Amino acid sequence: MPIDLSPVEKAKFVCAKRATQFVESGMKVGLGTGSTASWLVKCLGEMVREEGLKIKGVPTSTRTAELAREVGIEVITLDEAKWLDVTIDGADEFDPNLNLIKGGGGAHLQEKIVATASDQMIVITDASKSVETLGAFPLPIEVIPFGWQTTKNIVEEALVGMDVMGRDVTLRMNGDQPFISDEGNHILDLHLKRIGNARQISMVLNQIPGVVENGLFLDICDAVVIGYGDGRVEVRDINNGSVEEEKYDFLDNDNLFTNIAD
């Protein structure tokens, strides 16, 4: 693995590398979407090719599916898998209770379906995504294209009664056209700044006709693996309350990352 990476990319790599320890041969694995999750897919692909790891991957987006096939991971659908051993994915924010905001890449609908169909969900991220209260990152909601402006108006009205600091709602764009999700839907980004009651707002949003799903992942994540630019990795497990730390060494002489914590 090349070492000429920025500290942010090194952090993403080491947390992805550590998360591979949650994967064993014979598992059905949910594969997340995003820049950190792509490192995981590459690491698992290397294990498939070089170590004989045998897994079946259920991707959460078309771009993850393409990458998984490219690196040699067998790809199946969730309907074929029925249930997964583990899902490993990134997050845009996580709080001390490991509640998440996801959807910066517009794939949170498939990501939530896959994560809730798993025995475990592991989040891989860097320390910048840690917050005391969710909401600084815009909360995405996926909405059907039909009547989306009416849906947006209803969402804005619903936010008036919510414990949030901001209420701006914007349509996510891809250039000069609306962003289109893998399911053919639009994304509205809610600029809330702070979410005082995540459960309440999640329930209210999902009751609005036209809203398919929101990007709040509550009581779904089991552990978060946090990478740092100096090679440290912290693993927080919400179920047993443990916090573990390891260190990966960046060896300039052989252009490899080596785990030195064992």
Q: Quick check: is 74 catalytic?
A: no
For 120-153, how does the pLDDT look when each residue is reduced to its tens digit (9 = 90+)? 999 999 999 999 999 999 999 999 999 999 999 9
Same domain assignment for residues 144 and 112: no
More confident residue, 253 or 40: 40
9, 24, 66, 111: which is the annotated catalytic residue? Answer: 111
pLDDT of residue 249: 80
Same domain assignment for residues 89 and 155: no
Where does the pLDDT of residue 248 fall: very low under 50, low under 70, confident under 90, or very high at 90 and above? confident
CATH number at residue 204: 3.30.70.260
Same domain assignment for residues 38 and 151: no
Residue 34 is assigned to a ligand binding site: yes
Which one-letter amino acid corresponds to residue 199? Answer: R
**What are the φ and ψ backbone dihedral angles of 254, each rounded to 5 degrees?**
-120, 5
Residue 57 is assigned to a ligand binding site: no
Neighbours of 250 (CB within 10 A): 17
Neighbours of 185 (CB within 10 A): 23
- Name residues whose C-beta falls within 8 Å of residue 6's C-beta, 6 or more positions apart in sequence: 229
Same domain assignment for residues 253 and 143: no
Residue 45 is assigned to a ligand binding site: no
Residue 26 is assigned to a ligand binding site: no
CATH number at residue 13: 3.40.50.1360
Query: Domain span at residue 30?
Result: 7-131+219-259
DSSP 142: E
Asked, for residue 1, whether it belongs to a domain, the answer is no
pTM passes above 0.85: yes
Where does the pLDDT of residue 250 fall: very low under 50, low under 70, confident under 90, or very high at 90 and above? low
Same domain assignment for residues 83 and 150: no
Please tell me the distance from the alpha carbon of residue 215 to that of residue 112, in angstroms, as a whole number.
Answer: 8
Asked, for residue 79, whether it belongs to a domain, the answer is yes
Does residue 3 surpass a pLDDT of 90? no
Please tell me the distance from the alpha carbon of residue 127 to that of residue 226, in angstroms, as a whole number.
Answer: 6
More confident residue, 210 or 161: 210
CB 213 within 8 A of CB 110: no
Please tell me the distance from the alpha carbon of residue 248 to that of residue 43, in angstroms, as a whole number.
Answer: 15
Number of domains in the chain: 2
H or E element that contains 147 = none
